[in-house]
Amino acid sequence: FDMFVLAFVERLFRPTYKKDDFVLGKKLGEGSFGVVYRVSLANKPSSKEGDLVLKKATEYGAVEIWMNERVRRACASSCADFVYGFLESSSKKAAEYWLIWRFEGDATLTDLMQNREFPYNVETLILGEVQDLPKGLERENRIIQTIMGQILFALDGLHSTGIVHRDIKPQNIIFSEESRTFKIIDLGAATDLRVGINYIPKEFLLDPRYAAPEQYIMSTQTPSAPSVPVATALSPVLWQLNLPDRFDIYSAGLIFLQMAFPGLRSDNSLIQFNRQLKRCDYDLVAWRKTVEARGELRRGFELLDLDGGIGWELLTSMVRYKARKRLSAKAALAHPYFDREGLLALSFMQ
């Protein structure tokens, strides 16, 4: 079946929407490139808060619609369920892109990590019940393992599709109540290397708290990528050369770090950590030596040191200066850290 025929048929049977179909609810977020609301359908006021999400975006909305359409067809389970996107130009204001998703749930990983109960609050969400087991490092490790597994599984889906997200952070990981798994949101800074969409990195889109040290995802010597869909023979070669997916792996490694160390979960402490790591030439082992004596991060090291230190081994294989020395998402999933039977029931492989 030809991919374009399939896409056309799918589009034909999918409902289309326009501005007046939506009733705006609570504002969920506001960035430099758009505002996000919870909304419901005007003719179908199902829940009173609305079971959809609307992003009114600036010019970058066009790229975000493209990325979401691609994810829908290629790796739907990786990201929030995309419903529809369109150009809204009926009012006198500048044209906006409207993007609609299914409302996945109230909590991002940031919200959950800020909670004192973390990671037990996530265990309850994933299993849908309170576990009557003793609390302790082993159990915390198992929950964190499950969350990391789900994030890497979603990332592997994106990367296998040729998409690099470039803004992986806890704020952009949402807990989907229906599937009881974590999904990725916010493809506004993403790039699709197989067809060259948004190929030129826009550094100002990158969040310095979670960005890998490389300024450019592709080497600046790489000739410009094709700007229209073309035969893709060239792209896999570029992918192999530059390993742009490893940018996301670095960010995911920082999320792993924050989950293991409660003391590194706030913005300020993460910024301070980044400064310390830079001073250690991005060598986590050297960083560990400088902070270990202080004791405040001890519990996190203990967690990562369980089972012969495989958690620490995984972390140091993700947060590295050189992109090519970082594991791919697929290789990280095959890491012995995920080998044990420890993963929570209902976890990412179902």
User: Rounded to the nearest whole angstrom, what is the least distance from the CB of residue 281 to ligand ADP in the complex?
Assistant: 31
Regarding 336 and contact with ligand ADP (CB under 6 A), the answer is: no
Cβ-contact 222, 238 below 8 angstroms = yes
Name the one range near ligand ADP by CB under 6 A: 26-34, 197-205, 217-225, 277-285: 26-34
Cβ-contact 244, 218 below 8 angstroms = yes
- Is 267 a residue of the active site? no
User: Residue 24 carries which DSSP code?
Assistant: E
Regarding 186 and contact with Mg ion (CB under 5 A), the answer is: yes
Q: What pairing do the DSSP bridges indicate for beta strands 191-192 and 163-164?
A: antiparallel
Regarding 251 and contact with Mg ion (CB under 5 A), the answer is: no
Give the whole-angstrom CA distance, residue 106 versus residue 91: 31
Q: Which DSSP helix (H) or strand (E) runs through 329?
A: helix 329-333
Q: Which is nearer to ligand ADP, 78 or 235 (CB)?
A: 78
Q: Which is nearer to Mg ion, 110 or 124 (CB)?
A: 110
Regarding 306 and contact with ligand ADP (CB under 6 A), the answer is: no
User: Rounded to the nearest whole angstrom, what is the least distance from the CB of residue 64 to ligand ADP in the complex?
Assistant: 8
Q: Per the structure block, which two tokens stand in for 134? A: 């003793």
User: Rounded to the nearest whole angstrom, what is the least distance from the CB of residue 72 to ligand ADP in the complex?
Assistant: 13
Regarding 172 and contact with ligand ADP (CB under 6 A), the answer is: yes
Q: What pairing do the DSSP bridges indicate for beta strands 82-88 and 181-184?
A: unpaired
Name the one range near Mg ion by CB under 5 A: 72-80, 136-144, 167-175, 268-276: 167-175
Give the whole-angstrom CA distance, residue 179 versus residue 163: 23
Regarding 36 and contact with ligand ADP (CB under 6 A), the answer is: yes
Give the whole-angstrom CA distance, residue 341 versus residue 72: 31
Length of the chain: 350
User: Rounded to the nearest whole angstrom, what is the least distance from the CB of residue 322 to ligand ADP in the complex?
Assistant: 29
Q: Per the structure block, which two tokens stand in for 113? A: 């990590």
Encoded amino acid at 151, one letter: I
Angstrom distances, CA of residue 6 to CA of 15, 70, 265: 16, 12, 44
Residue window 73-92: x/- pattern of binding to ligand ADP, with contact defined by CB under 6 A: -------x------------
Regarding 185 and contact with ligand ADP (CB under 6 A), the answer is: yes
Q: Per the structure block, which two tokens stand in for 307? A: 């089972």
Give the whole-angstrom CA distance, residue 79 versus residue 71: 7
Regarding 100 and contact with ligand ADP (CB under 6 A), the answer is: no
Regarding 28 and contact with ligand ADP (CB under 6 A), the answer is: yes
Regarding 65 and contact with ligand ADP (CB under 6 A), the answer is: no
Q: Which of 156, 167, 245, 248 is catalytic?
A: 167
Residue with tokens 């409302």: 103
Regarding 172 and contact with Mg ion (CB under 5 A), the answer is: yes
Residue 103 interacting entry, from Mg ion, ligand ADP, none, C-beta within 5 to 8 Å by type: ligand ADP
* Longest alpha-carbon distance in the chain: 63
User: Rounded to the nearest whole angstrom, what is the least distance from the CB of residue 103 to ligand ADP in the complex?
Assistant: 5
Residue 68 interacting entry, from Mg ion, ligand ADP, none, C-beta within 5 to 8 Å by type: none
Who's near 347: CB < 8 A, 6+ residues apart?
126, 146, 149, 150, 181
Chain contacts with Mg ion (rule: CB under 5 A): 172, 186
Chain contacts with ligand ADP (rule: CB under 6 A): 28-29, 31, 33-34, 36, 53, 55, 80, 101, 103-105, 108, 171-172, 174, 185-186, 188
The set of catalytic residues is 167
